[in-house]
Amino acid sequence: MEKYVSAKLHGIRVTDAKLNYHGSITIDADFCRAVGLKPLEYVEIWNKMSGARISTYVLYGGAGSRCCILNGAAARTCQQGDEIIIAGSVFCEVDDIISLKPRVLVFGPENEIIDRISYEVFRRPDGALDMKVNSEVIDNDYGFPASLTAHPGVLLR
C-alpha cells in the first residue's frame, strides 16, 4: 500500500476563520462532492500565501455557498482571503489509483470553479507507469509539463 492523492481543491480562498470552534475545515458541500471528499475525511491544507501546512477533517458547508472556513486551531494558520490547496489522500495499490483518476477543482478569486482536472495514471505498452493531466482549460498556466497535459476529446495514449 502506498499513499496517493485522491482529490484536490486548488486555489480555493478562505472565506472565514473561526478560532472559538472545535477544529476542522468547513467546505461547500458541492465542491466536496465534485471531487469525492467525504464528511469527516482528513485532509492536508497548504496555504499558498504563508506556506503553512496543516491537517484537519472536513465538515460539509452549505451547498452553493462557496465557503471555505478554517475552524479552531486551524484558524490560526490562514487569514480570510488566503489562497489554499486542500488535498485528500488514500492508501491503496497502484492499480487502484489507475482506476480512481483523482479529480481536482481549480478556483478563481470568488471561489468560482474555473477548471476541472483529473489525474490519469496508466501503464504504457512496456508496463511502465505514466500519467496524463486532463484539463477543461486549454490555455492554463498551472506548471504541468506539456507532455502530461491533455484536453477533453484528446486521445491520451
Q: Which residue has the cell 472565514?
A: 16
Residues of the binding site for substrate: 56, 72-74
Is 156's pLDDT higher than 50? Answer: no
Is 90's pLDDT higher than 50? Answer: yes
In terms of pLDDT, which residue wins out, 150 or 54?
54
Sheet of strand 83-92: strand arrangement: 16-18, 68-71, 24-28, 53-61, 42-47, 83-92, 2-13, 103-107, 113-123, 129-135, 149-150
Is 154's pLDDT higher than 70? Answer: no
Is 145's pLDDT higher than 90? Answer: no
- Whether 128 is covered by a domain: the verdict is no
Determine the longest span between alpha carbons in the chain, in angstroms. Answer: 55
Rounded to two decimals, what is the model's pTM? 0.89
Query: What's the CA gap between 44 and 123, in Å, rounded?
Result: 28
- Whether 21 is covered by a domain: the verdict is yes
Place 19 in a pLDDT band, splitting at 50, 70 and 90. very high
Domain that holds residue 42: 2-91
- Whether 123 is covered by a domain: the verdict is no
Is 21's pLDDT higher than 70? Answer: yes
Catalytic residues: 24, 57
- Whether 117 is covered by a domain: the verdict is no
Place 157 in a pLDDT band, splitting at 50, 70 and 90. very low
Q: Of 11, 18, 72, 22, nearest to 45 (Cα)?
A: 11
Residues of the binding site: 56, 72-74
- Whether 83 is covered by a domain: the verdict is yes
CATH number at 56 reads 2.40.40.20
- Whether 17 is covered by a domain: the verdict is yes
Share of the chain above pLDDT 90, in %: 83
- Whether 116 is covered by a domain: the verdict is no
What's residue 153's pLDDT? Answer: 44
Q: Which pLDDT tens digit goes with each residue over 99-141?
A: 999 999 999 999 999 999 999 999 999 999 999 999 988 777 7
- Whether 22 is covered by a domain: the verdict is yes
State the total domains in the chain: 1
